Structure 1
Amino acid sequence: MFALYITHPQVRIDPDVAVPKWGLSDIGSARARLAAESAWAGQLRRIISSNEVKAIETANILASASGVPVEIVEGMHENDRSATGFLPPPEFEMAADWFFAHPHDSFRGWERAIDAQTRIVSKVEAILAEHDPQAPIAFIGHGGVGTLLKCHIAGRPIARQGDQPAGGGNLFCFDLANRAISCDWTPMESWKGESRKG
């Protein structure tokens, strides 16, 4: 059976609000609602969310399809970038490039990529250790730590080459039985679900 890691879609950017408090934009909400209409959304038996507003909003929309409660788990947040606060998009992209290219170092006080990876992997593994492998599950979170998780599951070094496409609202799928990635980053509203059982 499958597990999904889903990143929140587009957000309402407000430089005067702390990034973890940002909510979804109208486009992001619309995309999440479209994804909730997919057959796979109704199959979910657990939905685990980061404690950031944009992730919770995404999770609640997806949960409307299956009726399962959203479980908010501390420690699944995006890599901590509070040391710099909001960075304009061009500057942020350069910072993100550096973050992934130097996983054992901190960019101007940011959480190191290696530490963020250890954190997200430990949280996901703890949840899956007591999860029914026959029950589809989705983790709702963020592009940075999602990429770090994907690198770990794939057995690859930390690198931005594994990052999601721009815009957010993407998912990757992995098998609960063998932890093999079965679907690379795909827009959440476009994914058709697993093509096989198991």
Structure 2
Amino acid sequence: MARRVVYLSHPQVIVDAAKPVERWSLNPTGQARVAALAASGRLVGTAWIVSSAETKAIETADPLARALGLTPIIRAAMHENDRSATGFLPPAEFETVADTFFANPETSVRGWETAAAAQRRICGEVRACLSDFPEGDGLIVGHGAVGTLLYSALAELPISRRHDQPAGGGNWFAFTGWSAPLAPWAPMETLGTRL
């Protein structure tokens, strides 16, 4: 049976307009969801874990890795799409800009990294993981937008927000080799209960 790689987005965060987005932490709901998954035993058999360097991703990866007796490998280039040009945006404004980001993948929206560039970056990082860890099931902990761009690339679908994760974060999909995802995004509570 081919090895399986799971891509997991971090769950809910503390939205703090005074902090750079990449330094946001998980909120109590997000922490509780991660703790429940870590305690569930549903990740047993995972041989390696890679995480984005953003705080919220590390706070997701660390408890999962500890439960498995692993140390997560941090890859800085697995970060979320670069939105530093705008920093924090109020939710309604953010959703509008995110819609434009996905709808115009070759165009920088308000100085954001383009969706096409973010897709090339995350795909390069995941291919590097597949090369670095040629054996064993793996877990990659990251973010919703670049996860969606990865999903689209694996499925050979055009970039579109139609393939975005459900609201709230803490969702996953799996793939084997460099091939189409085995199923759509699903909440982390279903990880290990399907496929």
Query: Shorter-chain TM-score: what band?
Result: over 0.9
Structure 1 runs of 4+ with >4 Å offset: none
Distance change >3 Å, CA 49–CA 97, structure 1 → 2: same
Residue 171 (structure 1) aligned with residue 172 (structure 2)? yes
Residue 10 (structure 1) aligned with residue 49 (structure 2)? no
> Distance between the aligned counterparts of 1:22 and 1:46, measured in 2?
25
Aligned residue for 1:192? 192
Identify the match of residue 118 of structure 1 among 108, 120, 123.
Answer: 120
Residue 131 (structure 1) aligned with residue 136 (structure 2)? no
The one-character-per-residue Cα deviations of 1:123-173 (angstroms, maximum 9, x if unpaired) are 11011023234x110110000000000000000110000000000000001
Aligned residue for 1:56? 58
> Distance between the aligned counterparts of 1:3 and 1:56, measured in 2?
18
The one-character-per-residue Cα deviations of 1:62-112 (angstroms, maximum 9, x if unpaired) are 112211101001200000001011001111111110000000001100000
Task: State the identity %.
Answer: 48
- Corresponding letter in the other structure for 2:31: S
- Contact 2:43-2:192 at 8 Å conserved across structures: no
Q: Structure 2: give runs of 5+ residues left out of the alignment.
A: none
- Corresponding letter in the other structure for 1:184: P
> Distance between the aligned counterparts of 1:192 and 1:127, measured in 2?
21
> Distance between the aligned counterparts of 2:134 and 2:42, measured in 1?
17
Structure 1 residue 40: Cα displacement:
3.2
Aligned residue for 1:160? 161
**TM-score, with structure 2 as normaliser:** 0.95
Further displaced range: 32-41 or 161-170: 32-41
Q: Structure 1: give runs of 5+ residues left out of the alignment.
A: none
* 3-state SS of 2:184 partner: strand
> Distance between the aligned counterparts of 2:73 and 2:118, measured in 1?
20
- Corresponding letter in the other structure for 2:122: I
> Distance between the aligned counterparts of 2:85 and 2:106, measured in 1?
17
> Distance between the aligned counterparts of 1:126 and 1:14, measured in 2?
32
- Corresponding letter in the other structure for 2:18: D
* 3-state SS of 1:4 partner: strand
Aligned residue for 1:140? 141
**TM-score, with structure 1 as normaliser:** 0.93
> Distance between the aligned counterparts of 1:87 and 1:25, measured in 2?
18
Aligned residue for 1:34? 36
Across the aligned residues of Structure 1 and Structure 2, the Cα RMSD in angstroms comes to 1.2
Distance change >3 Å, CA 151–CA 137, structure 1 → 2: same
- Contact 2:48-2:70 at 8 Å conserved across structures: yes
Structure 1 residue 194: Cα displacement:
5.4
Aligned residue for 2:80? 78
> Distance between the aligned counterparts of 2:110 and 2:70, measured in 1?
40
